[in-house]
Amino acid sequence: MCGIVGAIADRDVVPVLIEGLKRLEYRGYDSAGIAIVAEEAVRRVRRTGRVAEMEAAAGAEDFHASLGIGHTRWATHGGVTEGNAHPHISHGELALVHNGIIENHEQQRERLLALGYTFESQTDTEVIAHLIHHYQSQGHDLLVALQHAVKELDGAYAIAVISKRDPQRMVCARMGCPLLVGLGEGENFVASDVSAIVSATRRVIFLEEGDTAELTREQVRVFDASGAEIPRDVHVSDVSLASLELGPYRHFMQKEIHEQPRAIADTIEAIIDRNSFVSAMFGENAEDIFRDIEAVQILACGTSYYAGLTARYWIEAIAGLPCAVDIASEYRYRQVVANPKQLIVTISQSGETLDTMEALKYAKSLGQQRTLSICNVPESAIPRASELVFYTRAGAEIGVASTKAFTTQLVALFVLTCTLAKLHGRLDAEQEAEMLEALRHLPGSVQHALNLEPQIVAWSERFAPKQHALFLGRGVHYPIALEGALKLKEISYIHAEAYPAGELKHGPLALVDAAMPVVVIAPNDKLLEKVKSNIQEVRARGGEMFVFTDQDSHFSESEGVHVIRTPRHVGVLSPIVHAIPVQLLAYHAALARGTDVDKPRNLAKSVTVE
Ligand code: M6R
């Protein structure tokens, strides 16, 4: 969603701001802007649409300065207009960018109107700019004015502020939304995501909840929620520039689909090296916690939720533990019956998803303190709020449609399953060796599935003109059908739904006719014969079938039944291999329809609002 970048330096920071905003584009946005303090004035340029349009406008207006802030906005309060785009300015003196939502903005607006402030936008953000200006006008310096103002805000925010009254510094604050400070040589930065500043510096301080900070060229000072100056750890980010570049690919989604053998190999590297499922990989206390738990509760959204649904089959069958999986935005408002002996597992690529974070907080507030985060972004909010952590090593995922994050989440969940099974006496040495062997072969099997791309391209051309599609699966492959339908609708805008194949006759069969393509995930597992019967039900109604199956399933092509064979059945890891063809199908169908694959309409990469 929204992105923030800011810089104070001895050089012109405008190119730094523009590059930072371009690196934040992947998060999803609909307008962009920058503000600078130059020659004792605050200047601003904003545009709806792409950063490149705003960049051109900044070039035309000869923008140069050594202090500035920038923002990409994903509209929540107020439409997509230039007037609602950030930065927001108070009294021509102070400029501010904001991520998050201010819940008490209406009350603050009333108060500020009474104080004589006027409003130019429909946003919740503008009140913050005026509030800080109000405190500055009472004689406080910029930092103290910010500290006073944030005390009056309810909601979530990451804020960066510059003022012409104080042209030698920038101040920032964080509550509920990520914000970090980048440390350079004689220059310093602020950003909502390390990718925005990685070409300037890798040394970063992740601000904690309630922190405020003051940046000059030479110094960064951080203050905790009580206002006391506090030392915070400096981290060196290992985000690779290559993972942020497109390279020879047409889209990040295509690149990330093809990176999956490597992403999976990196994620399992430590397990393969140790040749054992070791609980220490999840954190220091993992063994004690894992031994003691009696059940697992998974919380996640979107694709990460489907990873959780897949894991339920593994955790119950292999580890023998009851496992519930909830959509985080539902769980957080349900009257949950708490079980302190339950392991709360959150799954989030970004580690920032607000609903997942709030579900975790709710679970903890009910006395469920054993928490594990499976996440792809080190030091993000959700792992920081969890006792145990397993980082997937997919590398930065830029495409809005999650691909390599999904398959590496599945790998992480499989490792969790085997580790729990071992500690609960359900995995002997021989079985452990079998599971490790299966994992070792997984990157190769995924590569074989990627090699099916030319056949899938041919299928996608038949999909592209369709309005609707059905996806079917059974058992552990049902969540892969769900994921396939989500991928297709998300990037190609073809309406797609997924059902457990056995459920078809209870309603959705009424939708089937010759215009409805039906994708079936049907590997050679114990439910194959059942799926074959379900396929007959569809064929009898004239539906056209597109079946992904494996080499040893003896599935034959016939009129209206098209078959693509994935590699030989890879046993328990089959859902991971079958995620690949549905990703490729969605990607190529979207390509054929000419949609914006990496930035589908209305969607954002990190969903940091409710
Ligand atoms: O960062 P998270 O894994 O918490 O994100 C959850 C969902 O927003 C995300 O998986 C979304 O569904 C993807 N765009 C799907 O491709």
Across the range 121-148, mean pLDDT stands at 96
The segment with the largest mean pLDDT, out of 70-74, 248-252, 305-309, is 305-309
Q: pLDDT-based confidence at 240, cuts 50/70/90?
A: confident
What pLDDT score does 532 carry? 80
Say which DSSP state 555 is in.
-
What pLDDT score does 184 carry? 96
Across the range 312-339, mean pLDDT stands at 97
Across the range 367-371, mean pLDDT stands at 97
What pLDDT score does 364 carry? 97
Q: Which of 74, 607, 608, 610 to mutate to test the pocket of ligand 1 (most atoms within 8 A of CB)?
A: 607
Weakest-pLDDT range from 14-23, 133-142, 519-528, 585-594: 519-528
Q: pLDDT-based confidence at 36, cuts 50/70/90?
A: very high
Domain with CATH 3.40.50.10490 in the chain: 252-449, 453-593
Domain with CATH 3.60.20.10 in the chain: 3-244
The segment with the largest mean pLDDT, out of 106-115, 232-241, 375-384, 551-560, is 106-115
What pLDDT score does 21 carry? 96
The segment with the largest mean pLDDT, out of 52-66, 240-254, 315-329, 374-388, is 315-329
Say which DSSP state 330 is in.
H
Q: Is the pLDDT of residue 609 over 80?
A: no
Cα(210) to centroid(ligand 1), Å: 26
Superfamily of domain 252-449 in the CATH hierarchy: Glucose-6-phosphate isomerase like protein; domain 1 (3.40.50.10490)
> If DSSP states are collapsed to H, E and C, what string results for 66-119?
CEEEEEEECCCCCCCCHHHCCCEEECCCEEEEEECCECCHHHHHHHHHHCCCCC
Which of helix, strand or coil describes residue 334?
Answer: coil
Across the range 434-458, mean pLDDT stands at 93
Q: Which atom of ligand 1 is nearest to the CA of 382?
A: 4
pTM of the model: 0.82
Ligand 1, atom 4, lies closest to the CA of 348
What pLDDT score does 475 carry? 94
What pLDDT score does 357 carry? 95
**Backbone CA torsion sign across 211, 376, 272, 574:** positive
Which of helix, strand or coil describes residue 417?
Answer: helix
Cα(601) to centroid(ligand 1), Å: 15
- Give me the residue label for tokens 């992904």: 548
Q: Is the pLDDT of residue 348 over 80?
A: yes
* 258-282 confidence digits (pLDDT tens): 999 999 999 999 999 999 999 999 9
Record the tokens describing residue 160, joined without a space: 């960066």
What pLDDT score does 181 carry? 97
Across the range 394-412, mean pLDDT stands at 96
Q: Is the pLDDT of residue 76 over 90?
A: no
For domain 453-593, which CATH number applies: 3.40.50.10490, 3.40.920.10, 3.40.50.2300, 1.10.1200.10?
Answer: 3.40.50.10490
Ligand 1, atom 8, lies closest to the CA of 302
- How high does pLDDT run on average in the chain? 93
Beta carbon of 484 within 6 Å of any ligand 1 atom: no
Beta carbon of 403 within 6 Å of any ligand 1 atom: no
Beta carbon of 303 within 6 Å of any ligand 1 atom: yes
**Contact (CB, 8 A) for 486 and 303:** yes
Across the range 463-481, mean pLDDT stands at 94
Ligand 1, atom 9, lies closest to the CA of 302
Q: Is the pLDDT of residue 510 over 80?
A: yes
Q: Which helix (H) or strand (E) holds 323?
A: strand 323-327
For residues 501 and 428, which has the higher predicted lDDT (pLDDT)? 428
Beta carbon of 302 within 6 Å of any ligand 1 atom: yes
What pLDDT score does 528 carry? 78
Across the range 74-85, mean pLDDT stands at 89
- Residue 196 Cα to chain centre, angstroms: 16
What pLDDT score does 453 carry? 93
Q: pLDDT-based confidence at 610, cuts 50/70/90?
A: confident
Q: Is the pLDDT of residue 243 over 80?
A: no
What pLDDT score does 101 carry? 86
Across the range 77-91, mean pLDDT stands at 93
Q: Is the pLDDT of residue 27 over 90?
A: no
* CA–CA dist 384, 82 (Å, integer): 36
Residues with active-site annotation: 2, 605
Across the range 305-312, mean pLDDT stands at 98
Superfamily of domain 3-244 in the CATH hierarchy: Aminohydrolase, N-terminal nucleophile (Ntn) domain (3.60.20.10)
